Copies of this chain bind each other. A is one copy, B any other.
Amino acid sequence: MAVGEVLQSWHDGLIKSSIVEFVARVTNRGSTDYVPPAERIAVFDNDGTLWCEQPMQVQVFFALDRIKHLAKRDPTLAERQPFKAFIERDFKTIASLGKRGAFEFAFMTHAGVSEEEFDALAHAWLEAERHPTLGRLFKRCVFRPQIELLDYLRDNGFRTFIVSGGGIDLMRAMSEEAYSIPREQVIGSSLKTRVDVQAGVLTLFKLSELGTFDDREVKVENIGLHIGRRPILAFGNSDGDLAMMRYTLAGPRARLALLLHHDDAEREFAYDREFRLSPLSEALDCAEKDGIRVVSMKRDWCTVFI
């Protein structure tokens, strides 16, 4: 297939060529870089890599609405931080918690919810709620070039995984429809769970204790746990993805690590070092030395959203 026929939303150039050439090398049986299909593992961060994460990650918006709901039952919540900040959409205070602080708090609002209840809540929310400035449904804030890339990789025998700091079950509620990625190929942060009987039915409930916060080195540990194989392609957009990209590149033969730089204030957002909820700083500085390819949204993508 000619380069022009695949990845239609990607501008021709160094990045697109590097992807197409990499895929050709690992799928060509005559190549010394040939990788059998079972080992063609590609891992993608979600927030900021597959969909928009500004002004805050979708996970945080989901928690805002959940807390509003909880505050109806217990109005005193509105007086307490960080509940107050979430209820008042005080982005500055939320950002001051940092990624882990804000996410952990967001996750805790789901303690006591069963997996089936959570899935129904998440589905209903994703069907209804819109991004505050883009106007589109959150679930439609996914990037078209990445959907094409996921399809292209799978067409070439890859298995595609999400490895993200986002809550595993919120991602699972949209990964099949949005990315054609089955639930079991989603790795994320999660609360511990416990089996209990509810109305006579054995059910899994979320506890208020964090099981894993899937960021930085922990992403590598979770790749080991869930996949059990070193990926050959990694795609991220923040310092939280650096360990996963380095781990991917450290294997033998051909490897590809890509880093999305949000430099497109016109079509999406332009940000990097100053984004408190997931900065891109160290990864940008070491990308060239480490062999990580920086994708410029402005330069490399013809279209941004689906």
Contacts and interface: CB of A to CB of B under 8 A. Distances in A.
Given A202-B246, A202-B250, A220-B204, A225 B183 contact: no
B38 A225 contact: no
Interface stretch (A8-16, A55-63, A71-79, A185-193): A185-193
Interface stretch (A129-137, A168-176, A273-281, A294-302): A168-176
The range of chain A's interface size is 35 or more
Nearest to A192: B221
Query: How many identical chains are in the complex?
Result: 2
Contacts of A169: 228
Contacts of A117: none
22 contacts: A38-B183, A115-B224, A115-B228, A115-B230, A159-B182, A161-B184, A183-B227, A184-B184, A184-B185, A184-B226, A184-B228, A184-B229, A186-B228, A193-B224, A193-B225, A202-B220, A202-B246, A202-B250, A203-B250, A204-B220, A204-B221, A211-B225
Interface of A: 38, 115-116, 159, 161, 168-169, 172, 176, 182-186, 190, 192-195, 201-204, 211, 217, 220-221, 224-230, 243, 246-247, 250
